[in-house]
Amino acid sequence: SQKIEQNSEALNIQEGKTATLTCNYTNYSPAYLQWYRQDPGRGPVFLLLIRENEKEKRKERLKVTFDTTLKQSLFHITASQPADSATYLCALASNKFYFGSGTKLNVKP
């Protein structure tokens, strides 16, 4: 069956460090992969999209990589700030849309 895995344990890091979140998938051939941010009590908000023929995408302090051989995407936040604390969801666009369960990031001052 198709599956998307994100680390269910919260990631706790110190302000200023780089946060790295992982999204692994099986049995998909996604056209592309997206990352969303979700704050408590709110709907997810789109952050970045990376296509299957792209290795890396950047936007300000955010960087996403996509390895279709490993079936993995990494999401990096450099120079992290307490305001980056949230849950981050990856989503695959194949014939439909599939979301991972998300990883909660806590950035401590």
Partner 1 sequence: NAGVTQTPKFQVLKTGQSMTLQCAQDMNHNSMYWYRQDPGMGLRLIYYSASEGTTDKGEVPNGYNVSRLNKREFSLRLESAAPSQTSVYFCASSLTVQNIQYFGAGTRLSVL
User: Scanning the structure block, which residue is given the tokens 């792209």?
Assistant: 54
**71-90 positions binding partner 1, by CB under 8 A:** 89
Applying CB under 8 A, which part among 20-28, 30-38, 59-67, 69-77 lies near partner 1? Answer: 30-38
Stretch that binds partner 1, among 12-20, 29-37, 52-60, 72-80 (CB under 8 A): 29-37
**Binding status of residue 41 toward partner 1 by CB under 8 A:** yes
SS3 state of residue 62: strand
Contact with partner 1 (CB under 8 A) among 15, 16, 45, 79: 45
Compute φ and ψ for 29, nearest 5 degrees.
-130, 75
Are the C-beta atoms of residues 87 and 19 closer than 8 Å to each other? Answer: no
